[in-house]
Amino acid sequence: MKIMFRHIFAGYRCSKCSETCERHNGTSFTKLHLIIGLVFALAFAIRLFCPPWELQWYYFFGIYAGELLLFFISGLSFSFFSGGMVHRCKNCKAPMMFCGRYFKYEDKPWPEDHAIFIIHAVLNVVIWLNLARLLAS
């Protein structure tokens, strides 16, 4: 199974000189996100199925949904720090008009993909530490 990374690009056209450009808007959810979420959910669920919690097996679906929600939060938090929304033409500095978005598939991950995976892992570590602190008290 070949894992493809899906990125969202937006097309823009200058309102003055008709110059066109495309800009990377972000990443999209792929099979790799589902697999990594499943791995983290399994690790988290194994801990919660043991004493003192002893949760039932069907709690796993809620834990997995929480992991996928953590990916959403990771991507959202990354997008707040990744750049502005005002697009200007490189030639004449006039505002660019939005022409549409499209998906582009890549074989290799971009640095943005790595950053989202790292943020997801950090959020998981924070949850684990809070769980350990809760169990200690």
Sign of CA dihedral 117, 123, 129, 132: negative
Residue 53, SS3?
Answer: coil
Q: Give domain limits for the chain.
A: 5-136
Rounded CA gap, 109 and 119, in Å?
A: 15
pTM attached to this predicted model: 0.78
Q: Is the pLDDT of residue 62 over 90?
A: yes
Report the side by side order of strands in the sheet with 5-14.
20-27, 5-14, 96-106
Q: Give me the residue label for tokens 């495309």.
A: 22
Burial per residue of 91-115, b for 16 or more beta-carbon CB atoms within 10 angstroms, e otherwise: eeeeebeeeeeeeeeeeebeebbeb
State pLDDT tens for residues 86-121: 678 888 988 888 888 889 988 888 888 999 999 999
Q: Tell me if 114 sits within 8 A of 75, measured CB to CB.
A: no
Residue 84 pLDDT class (50, 70, 90 cuts):
low
pLDDT of residue 80: 76
State pLDDT tens for residues 6-43: 888 989 999 888 888 888 888 888 888 999 999 999 99
